[in-house]
Structure 1
Amino acid sequence: MSDDGVDLLRTFRDPLIGLPLSHVWRGAGSAIFLEFGHLTGRTRRDGTLGNPEGEFGLMIEWNWRIEDNSSILCGSWSEESLWAATFDHIRNKTVVEFSVVGRLPEIAVGLSDELFVTSFMTAEGDPAWVLFDRREDVVRTLGVRQGRVEAVTASR
């Protein structure tokens, strides 16, 4: 990764370290969302309550796994009956590491108690993860475009 990419990653990583994984939820298909830090309620367009949003949120569209220090606890191809218990197991753990790994940048989140969440795209295109920084009036995102880590800023 270039020096610019390392600096960019650091601006997202440093405030994440020490935050709790406050909420984990399933999106469409096998997508998962990890919400870090203080949670804010969210209302959908139809007026129903949605999943809360954290100060930071990580979406992994597909192909992910949750590991402990010696094995895979579950992943996007595991029996769905394993998901809820594993999500409960990682909830409220603290972020101790946040990095990208590989030639095409995949995300790796290290949590307290030697637990890890990693992405690993297996289809064509870019790795399918996005980190949202929602601490300000604008939302900054970090993701991969054309094989490179890239940030985008958008208004709420």
Structure 2
Amino acid sequence: MSNGISVLQTFRGALVGLPLSHLWRGHGSAIFLEFGHLTPRTPRSGEAGNPQGEFGLMVEWSWRIENRTAVLCGSWSNEQLWEPTFDLLRNRAVVDFSLAGRLPEVVVAMAEDHYVSSFMTAEGDPSWALFDRRGDTLRTLSVRDGSLTVSVTAHKSTDGAVE
């Protein structure tokens, strides 16, 4: 796990201090948090897509947003709570990025004691991924077979089109 810890430190060092620039809902209860400078995206349909940050965090399901004393909302909450709670996070800086649990779940600590946490409630691996989109390669930190893993792939095309 020492290799996993050093990988985590690399991602943490670059992510801490960046603002949450955009937060959007994907399919179902999936959420996407985009950190740092945003780049516009245009899907093949030609319609404007959600912009991508220098870093992006996808939590497919089972997540919650907390303050110091309570859970404010989560993937199983009334959806009317989601947007107002998302608004509390937007533009706040990341103060820490850590893992919790025997099977690594992500915890993003934001300024002013707000937190976003994943917590898988179904069989399999925790369902989150952190994307580092800086540079010419895309580095993705996720969990596979119960352990942290990093994959490296080619980055987006130069015209900003989603591939």
Aligned to 2:137: 138
Provide the aligned length of Structure 1 versus Structure 2: 155
Distance in 1 of aligned mates of 2:95 and 2:83: 22
List structure 1 segments (4+ residues) > 4 angstroms apart after TM superposition: none
Question: Could you say what secondary structure the match of 1:77 adopts?
Answer: coil
- Report percent identity of matched pairs: 60
**Paired residues for 1:102-117 under 5 Å:** 102-117=101-116
Deviation (angstroms), 1:36: 0.2
Q: Which amino acid aligns with 2:101?
A: G
Distance in 2 of aligned mates of 1:11 and 1:155: 19
Distance in 1 of aligned mates of 2:58 and 2:44: 20
Deviation (angstroms), 1:45: 1.2
Distance in 2 of aligned mates of 1:136 and 1:88: 29
Q: Which amino acid aligns with 1:127?
A: P
Distance in 1 of aligned mates of 2:2 and 2:17: 24
TM-score (norm 2): 0.94
Distance in 1 of aligned mates of 2:72 and 2:53: 24
Aligned to 1:87: 86
Question: Could you say what secondary structure the match of 1:24 adopts?
Answer: strand
Aligned to 1:70: 69
Q: Which amino acid aligns with 1:61?
A: E
Deviation (angstroms), 1:137: 1.3
Q: Which amino acid aligns with 2:5?
A: V
Q: Does structure 1 residue 38 correspond to structure 2 residue 37?
A: yes
How much is the aligned-residue C-alpha RMSD, in angstroms? 0.5
Question: Could you say what secondary structure the match of 1:51 adopts?
Answer: coil
TM-score (norm 1): 0.98
Question: Could you say what secondary structure the match of 1:89 adopts?
Answer: helix
Question: Could you say what secondary structure the match of 2:150 adopts?
Answer: strand
Aligned to 1:154: 153
Aligned to 1:54: 53
Distance in 1 of aligned mates of 2:30 and 2:85: 15
Measured against aligned partners, the alpha-carbon deviations of 1:12-67 in whole angstroms (never above 9, x if no partner) come to 11000000000000000000000000000000111000000000000000000000
Distance in 1 of aligned mates of 2:137 and 2:47: 24
Distance in 2 of aligned mates of 1:10 and 1:50: 31
Distance in 1 of aligned mates of 2:131 and 2:17: 17
